[in-house]
Structure 1
């Protein structure tokens, strides 16, 4: 009996891990490849010029996400476990309000809507269907961190895994864009990714103990770069 229970636990853990990998895959079809998270402007303006400045840029983006979107993500995961739509909508509004530039708002809501739509089709369930309806009827903007939290809660995947997927996505979006925008090798970007993912645990602990009122979305240089990108005549990415 113990062996059978161990086998069941191992099977469940394997399934959970596989789903985390699926929904966290950089090729998951939510349009992340179309965005650079202001890296395009950072390169054009000389803020990012090599591997060292790219590493610093990506680290800053991860820290900003951990202090902002990820606090909302963890709170939304808690609300989703009780199917509390009103609280989810309130959290979603807080995330949207902290997206100061048009491009960052567009990125979050487009990815959030696509993630919700994929969740309905792949996972199913009443909560995901209700959330999609709220987005389609403009009850809520449908930001990506909240969509991710709902999907993981519906699948009984923990908030910590949703956090990992979110932060991994932030890093890979920037590093993937770097490969198309600047002279840098896959080896260099993988080294940066390896270093940055090693900091995820500490970031999660800080975000998990924070309150929604602690969310901070303002990073002056990032906002300036987003504004510069909006006015650029030639650009490869949407943000």
Structure 2
């Protein structure tokens, strides 16, 4: 009895800290129908060119993207989109949507973020605020992190918990692509994600305090791989 009593306050505290955990687990589940499985974010090129050959190289690749690559930039864009939509500032939101599209460094990266954004906006309509889904019909597609920021603000999700779920989903999607391409064993993929947890938390904390002035990428290898994917002779993924 005492053990049960002691556990109740802990459970209650966890519920307060992440009140929308159930919703976020659904929205960023690999099974959520946005088609993320079809995009490798340039990772397919790195595997084809033998840059990525094992779990260690995949882990290092993803870590760079989280620390100073597209993973970081997407998190910053999500924060700005969240703030703009929460404030009801349509001009500010339109500006970050335009910026997110412009930051895509290749045709495939642009297609990827817009396709994922459009699919997320459609699939997440049950979580949107009253009337938001209807008002959004026919609107131009926005980049994936912008769509996520908008939905999170509409649904009243906390920014920190949304960022954590989004960044984890970003890393997990890349590791999943590596499982199919390198290939990696599922057990190794799980170990990679376990070792990336501190990086995911660190990115979440940094991004939560960020502004657009913090945008910037130094993951040139990933950017070049994304460009080269467009002419890769044999492709399993769309990017």
Q: Same fold (TM over 0.5)?
A: yes
Q: Flag the 1:185–1:154 CA change in 2: closer, same or farther, 3 A.
A: same
The alpha carbon displacement at 1:238 in A equals 0.4
Contact 2:65-2:72 at 8 Å conserved across structures: no
Match of 2:22 in 1: 18
Equivalenced residue count is 229
Q: Distance in 1 between matches of 2:105 and 2:38?
A: 19
Q: Flag the 1:85–1:9 CA change in 2: closer, same or farther, 3 A.
A: farther
Query: Secondary structure at the residue paired with 2:112?
Result: helix
Query: Secondary structure at the residue paired with 1:134?
Result: coil
| Structure 1 runs (4+) greater than 4 angstroms displaced | 6-15
Q: Flag the 1:14–1:215 CA change in 2: closer, same or farther, 3 A.
A: closer
Match of 2:79 in 1: 74
Q: Normalising by structure 2, what TM-score?
A: 0.87
Unpaired runs of 5+ in structure 2? 1-8
Q: Normalising by structure 1, what TM-score?
A: 0.87
Match of 1:3 in 2: none
Query: Secondary structure at the residue paired with 2:40?
Result: coil
Q: Flag the 1:176–1:210 CA change in 2: closer, same or farther, 3 A.
A: same
Contact 2:101-2:110 at 8 Å conserved across structures: yes
Query: Secondary structure at the residue paired with 1:199?
Result: helix
Match of 2:109 in 1: 104
Contact 1:116-1:132 at 8 Å conserved across structures: no
Match of 2:193 in 1: 193
Match of 1:182 in 2: 182
